[in-house]
Amino acid sequence: MTTTAHENRIREFLAQRLHLLESGLRCVDEEYVLTNPEGTGGRIDILARDQHQMWVVIELKRANKTAREATQEIAKYAELLRREKRLPADRIRVIVVALEPQWKELLAPISNLARDWHHDLRGYSLRIDGDGVPLDARLINLLPEPLDQKLTSVHFMYLFNQRDGRDRCWEQVRAPAS
């Protein structure tokens, strides 16, 4: 069995078992073709809708070589789908599904992208049997922000009974900072 055929087989089985990822996901299409008049298009492995009718781009990665390209691909697919469907960013979700070893390669770049991105981005580790049939999927905990972001080491809390007191205080605090 060739690598391509194996990936195709995994994708076909996963498209029929999207409930392993999340309840309420339904497959719209496999290998969904995206065109791009400004450059290269692409193919979304699985295009789905969730229970809230949001579009879900599902990208399958089963080799480290292709895992390295994942962030570029999902960014391109989300942008092209937004343009094609004329959607705001918050109406598209992205799920990266990879076999366990690939998360060593994917975890840092996907975590970085998820922190600063306007789309809901999640990762799942997929376990398959010898025939490529998905057995289960585990949600990946993305890496937290590496720095504890604090403005100062001292924090103040102001409580106000009336709006005008709050507004006067805010002006006094904001003026020196400007």
Neighbours of 66 (CB within 10 A): 17
Return the domain boundaries, the chain.
Answer: 3-144
Per-residue pLDDT tens over the stretch 71-96? 999 999 999 999 999 999 899 999 99
Q: Quote the pLDDT of residue 175.
A: 78
In b/e form, how buried is each residue of 93-132, taking b as 16+ CB within 10 angstroms?
bbbbbbbeebbebbbeebbebbeebebbbbbbbbebeeeb
What is the full per-residue pLDDT of the chain (178 aa) written as tens digits? 334 448 889 999 999 999 999 999 999 999 999 998 888 889 999 999 999 999 999 999 887 777 778 899 999 999 999 999 999 989 999 999 998 788 988 999 999 999 888 889 999 999 998 888 899 999 999 998 887 666 666 667 778 888 888 888 888 877 777 6
Q: Quote the pLDDT of residue 66.
A: 74
> Which fold is adopted by the domain 3-144?
Trna Endonuclease; Chain: A, domain 1 (3.40.1350)
